[in-house]
Structure 1
Amino acid sequence: MAQLDIENLSKRYGDFQAVREVSLQVADGEFLVLLGPSGCGKTTTLRMVAGFIEPTAGHVKLGGRDVTLLPPWRRNAGMVFQSYALFPHLTVAQNVAFGLEMRKVARAEIAKRVDDALALVRLAGHGGRLPRQLSGGQQQRVALARALAIHPDVLLLDEPLSNLDAKLRQEVRVEIRELQQKLGLTAVMVTHDQEEALTMADRLVVMSEGAVRQVGTQRDLYERPANRFVADFVGRSTFFEGMVEAPGRFRTDGGLTLACVGGTPGRGALALRPERVGIASTAGSGLDNNLRGTVEFVSYLGALIDIHVRLSPSDRLIVHVANRDGAFVPEVGQPVHVGWPAAAAQVFNE
């Protein structure tokens, strides 16, 4: 395994800037996840690291070695594609051996590495099957085994679970994470799925419009988002539009006056996570914000109950209530009181 350094990496297609001066350092054995909406540049960044796309500017270094101009097969990077990219006419063993054959590894060594890789992904004994004889989850494991068989310096995963159903996706992401930790792999994964990213990463990189918006742990990004985009994309937030009238006082466009912490006077938005809000049939006490509203929508989500409360004609709040015995769950149309401490919200100035 090796440290991966991405230095001022950029990609331009004509007038379109797909990736803008991305700089990241992935430590030896770290699992880094690039997270962002479709078209944000995360896959282009990954493919430049792999060598499938030539950067317009910048450098890629593996273990201190500059590989920017090397073809993919000389970078020793294992790639797992969204579509699996298995050869349908080759057996499982032949698919896993493909990268080794391209590297002209000795035949006896190839056989050993194929067996070892299939055992790692719990597919021992499946080497003679064709891809069409496997389930989606098994095909994804074959693609992972092929990437591991070359003993890569870095493992690159491009939306590896997007073609699996929800239950299988949960199982395979745990398997990949456990395998990465067991082998001490340096890994970079691309996904637009927040739950995947939060479950698997050591650190997250949130991207939009080709640029890095924030890098940090799950807790960093969720509890201390650097900007409104990150607050909106990672997790769920209610945003009140309005003005910071003074530090600690926010007035919404709907006329509500809310207590907050900090903020520079001027136009902006106040963000509030739904689990930070309390809800009751009567007004609470001891909270900086206590407001009356009417329930507009209630959604049962299993472990959580999603409650939408109208506070003014233009202000609506989302509340998450844990699904447990004795929890207060109002009905649609019922008047309620909601409250939260000033420190629970975050202000983003325009």
Structure 2
Amino acid sequence: MARLEIAGLTKRYGAVTTVRDVTLDVADGEFLVLLGPSGCGKTTTLRMVAGFVEPSAGSIRLGGRDITGSPPWLRNTGMVFQNYALFPHMNVAENVAFGLEMRKVPKAEREARAMEALRMVRMEPYAGRLPRQMSGGQQQRAALARALAIHPDVLLLDEPLSNLDAKLREEVRVEIRQLQRQLGLTTIMVTHDQEEALTVADRLVVMAEGEIRQVGSQQDLYERPADRFVAGFVGRSTFLAGRVAERGRFVTAGGIGIAVPDAMAAGPAVLAIRPEAVHLAPPEEEENRLAGVVEFVSYLGPLIELHLRIAAGEKLVVHVPNRAGIRPPALGESVTIGWPRAAGMVFPDAA
């Protein structure tokens, strides 16, 4: 079993706390993604699990064994670094076998396990090449093979796709997810790319300022964000400042009344609306109907993004599906938009 239990994990550098009281329970075979902006503490958390950074407080248990004070080579964790960290003077097979050599695995066995790992990532034909003779995607696969060759209890991925071009990132992230499922390997990946995280994760952990802001499935975080930060970081939202005048009624700073879910009591608030929840030419019975003027049009392939100015200079972003025969509004055109009450997400102004 490779269940990973993290309790109260904290890292301080002098008076600065970079990770604060992180508690997570990662199930055996689960793919967990730590998602957040640069400097939020996600990589430091990963490196504490790997043993490269010593925690200031808290504990780490892997498979029921306390590894908090264990050195990296005794944790049996496989790490894939952002820059791959391949030895330039070693060929691919030697790089992949290096961790096994450090573990005193006999030569014949480590060569066999290295080739097995290379077959998993479709890199067997490149076993004799040096890192400089390979593309970024090939180096990434070699680094992944090296991590897998030791048969780790947990696989740790630190921004593994950030150095690849967009097309290759899409391909490799699917390959990593398929391989992880095939092996049933407990995995934690760090990324700042929300699309990448949404694609591969069983569960997501959103971090900000060294703390966990929300843990849940893709649907949980997108449809039920815990606070304003999560609503803005996972997916796209337009935010309107104002106040809840009474339960179920939000009034913007510009005086526009909007029907919202009645979960929040009266007080200063921020309303978040997803661009795809707003539609053009809504039916007369739509709960929220507003007039707007198109200020910007962006063609994004499967959808068209509109930036609208509504009353009092406030703005909304709208995503319109790009369908054959449908003409998007032009710059300066007046439109009517609408959305249902349930589409609004209201957060306290201090969130």
Q: Give the alignment's TM-score, normalised by structure 1.
A: 0.98
Q: How does 1:87-236 map to 2 (within 5 A)?
A: 87-236=87-236
Give 1:290's aligned amino acid.
Answer: R
Distance 1:72 1:49 in 2: 9
Partner of 2:302: 303
What whole-Å deviation, never above 9, does each CA across 1:248-292 have from its counterpart, x for those lacking one? 111101111111111210001011101011113xx6311110000
In structure 1, give the amino acid aligned to 2:229. F
In 2: Cα distance, 1:340 partner to 1:233 partner:
22
For structure 2, the residue ranges without an aligned partner over 5 or more in a row are none
- Hey, what's the Cα distance between the residues in 2 that align with 1:349 and 1:58? 31
Structure 1, residues 161-210: CA drift from partner, whole Å, max 9, x if none?
Answer: 00000000000000000000000010000000000000000000000000
What 5-or-longer segments of structure 1 have no aligned partner? none
* CA apart distance, 1:80: 0.2
Q: Residue 266 of structure 1 corresponds to which residue in structure 2?
A: 267
What is residue 329 of structure 2 aligned with on the other side?
330
Equivalent in the alignment of 2:69: 69
More deviation, 252-261/200-209 = 252-261
Aligned to 1:13: 13
Listed one character per residue, the Cα deviations across residues 85-130 of structure 1 (whole Å, up to 9, x for unaligned) are 0000101011001111111111111011001000000011211110
Following TM superposition, by how much is the alpha carbon of 1:330 offset from its aligned partner in structure 2, in angstroms? 0.1
Q: Find the aligned partners of 1:110 and 1:348 in 2 and give their Cα distance.
A: 55
SS in 1 for 2:125: coil
Pairwise CA distance, 1:314 = 3.4
- Secondary structure at 1:298 match in 2: strand
Q: What is the 5 A alignment of 1:9-48?
A: 9-48=9-48
Given that 1:92 and 1:131 are in contact with CA atoms closer than 8 Å, whether structure 2 keeps it comes out as yes
After TM superposition, the runs of 4+ consecutive aligned structure 1 residues lying more than 6 A away are none
SS of equivalent to 2:298:
strand
**SS class of match (2:310):** strand
**1:264–1:349: 8 Å Cα contact kept in structure 2?**
no
Structure 1: distance between partners of 2:37 and 2:260: 29
Q: In structure 2, what is the Cα distance between the partners aligned to 1:40 and 1:108?
A: 44
Secondary structure of the corresponding residue to residue 125 of structure 1 = helix
Within 1, Cα distance between the matches of 2:19 and 2:167?
A: 33
* 1:237 alignment counterpart: 237
Deviation at 1:327, TM superposition (A): 3.0
Indicate the SS of the match to 2:99: helix
Q: Is the 8 A contact 1:253 1:314 kept in 2?
A: no
Give the residue type in structure 1 aligned to 2:348: N
Corresponding residue number in structure 2 for 1:316: 315
Write the deviation string for residues 205-263 of structure 1: whole angstroms up to 9, x where unpaired: 00000000000000000000011110010000011100100001111011111111112
Q: In structure 2, how many angstroms separate the alpha carbons of the residues matched to 1:341 and 1:177?
A: 36
**C-alpha distance in 2 between matches for 1:165 and 1:313:** 42
For 2:14, give the aligned amino acid.
G
- 2:49 matched to which residue of 1? 49
| Number of equivalences | 348
Moved more, 125-134 or 47-56: 125-134
- Alignment-mate amino acid for residue 243 of structure 1: R
DSSP 3-state at the match of 2:124: coil
Instruction: Give the superposition deviation at 1:318.
Output: 0.6
Q: Could you tell me how far 1:315 is from its partner in structure 2? A: 1.1
2-side partners of 1:334 and 1:144: how far apart? 52
Q: Deviation of residue 79 (structure 1)?
A: 0.1
**Corresponding letter in the other structure for 1:114:** A
Q: 1:82 maps to what in 2?
A: 82
What residue in structure 1 maps to residue 289 of structure 2? Answer: 290
Alpha-carbon offset, residue 328 of structure 1: 4.6
Between the aligned partners of 2:125 and 2:247, the Cα distance in structure 1 is 66
Point out the more displaced range, 103-112 or 46-55. Answer: 103-112
Please tell me the residue identity of whatever aligns with 2:272: A
TM-score by length of 2: 0.98
Q: Distance in 2 between matches of 1:295 and 1:156?
A: 46
